[in-house]
A and B are shown apart, each in its own frame.
Chain A
Amino acid sequence: KAGVTQTPRYLIKTRGQQVTLSCSPISGHRSVSWYQQTPGQGLQFLFEYFSETQRNKGNFPGRFSGRQFSNSRSEMNVSTLELGDSALYLCASSRQGVNTEAFFGQGTRLTVV
């Protein structure tokens, strides 16, 4: 079966711009979690969506937002980009949320210049 698909794979943006990343989960999976991965901080949890509702949110500023559609596809948006937002953004899908198997997409590599 198809895995988790993230688009685009690579992005280069300038400071102050905004960006939208997309994640299509595995068919039948209703939970999508987003993570930021950097060499210094590791995997940092951004938020989790389940059935179009945000259930959990990590410690990121309000510039980071997300949403989930009725087909479980999810988007995350970062506004007013800063250099420190350069990272690999990963989404993970699972059937029900934590305590069920979660599978990661290939990620979107965002570079802010």
Chain B
Amino acid sequence: QQPVQSPQAVILREGEDAVINCSSSKALYSVHWYRQKHGEAPVFLMILLKGGEQKGHEKISASFNEKKQQSSLYLTASQLSYSGTYFCGTSDRGSTLGRLYFGRGTQLTVWP
């Protein structure tokens, strides 16, 4: 049930855009996005729920295609601070009783 993230790694110049994808073989109820810098804890970015509700960082945008069981995270006009490993976590249950399954991560490097 582990979601698959793509690409595994991205290298950008400041100001460029990137898209990180997360797909699952199971129907999803929610997708969570986190960014983790080396040696630090994962930082919450966004949660997307079935039905269209979203909560998260105001400078981050993401989509959730329920039919395709996919989510994409859009990073526009990237900054140096965007560097880190991005993880998606997915839940396939509609209640709060389930658990998150995390992808292996996408390593994003932004160069000046």
Contacts and interface: CB of A to CB of B under 8 A. Distances in A.
A and B: interacting chains: yes
Interface in A27-54: 31, 33, 35, 42-43, 45, 48, 50
A98 B93 contact: yes
A56 B101 CA distance: 12
Given A99-B96, A101-B32, A104-B43, 17 more contacts: A33-B99, A33-B100, A42-B105, A43-B102, A45-B100, A45-B101, A45-B102, A90-B42, A97-B95, A99-B29, A99-B30, A99-B47, A99-B94, A101-B44, A104-B41, A105-B41, A107-B41
Interface of B: 29-30, 32, 34, 40-44, 47, 49, 55, 87, 89, 91, 93-105
A24 B26 CA distance: 33
Interface of A: 31, 33, 35, 42-43, 45, 48, 50, 55-56, 58, 90, 96-107
11 contacts: A33-B99, A35-B102, A42-B87, A58-B99, A97-B96, A97-B97, A98-B97, A99-B91, A100-B96, A101-B44, A102-B44
A101 B100 contact: no
Nearest to A56: B99
Nearest to A44: B102
Contacts of A55: 97
Given A42-B105, A96-B96, A102 B32 contact: yes
